[in-house]
Structure 1
Amino acid sequence: MPHIEVIRAAALSSLPHGFLGRRGGVSTGIHAGLNVGLGSDDDRAAIIENRARATDAVLPGSKLVTLHQVHSAHAVTVTAPFPDDQRPHADALVTDRPGLLLGILTADCVPVLFADVQAGVIGAAHAGWKGAIGGVTDATITAMEALGADRSRIVAAIGPCIGRASYEVSQDFAAVFAQADPANERFFSAGKPGHHQFDIEAYVTARLAAAGLSQIEALGLDTYADPTRFFSYRRSCHRGEAGYGRAISLIGM
Structure 2
Amino acid sequence: MNALSCPLCRLPLTLNTQGVACERGHQFDRAKEGYFNLLPVQYKHSLQPGDAKQQLDARRQFLQAGFFAPLKSQLQKLLPDTAKNLLDIGCGEGYFTNSFAEALPEAHIYGVDIAKPGVRLAAKAAGAKGLGGHLTYAVASSFDLPLADGSIDVITRIYAPSKDAELCRVMGTAGLLVIVAPGEQHLLGLRRRIYREVRPHQQTPVPEGFRLADEQRVTADLVIEQPAMRAALLAMTPFVWRINQQLKADLIDNLFEDRLDFSILIYNKI
TM-score, normalised via structure 1 length: 0.35
Flag the structure with larger Rg: 2
User: Comparing both chains, which one has the higher relative contact order based on Cα–Cα distances under 8 Å and sequence gaps of 6 or more?
Assistant: 1
TM-score, reference length from structure 2: 0.34
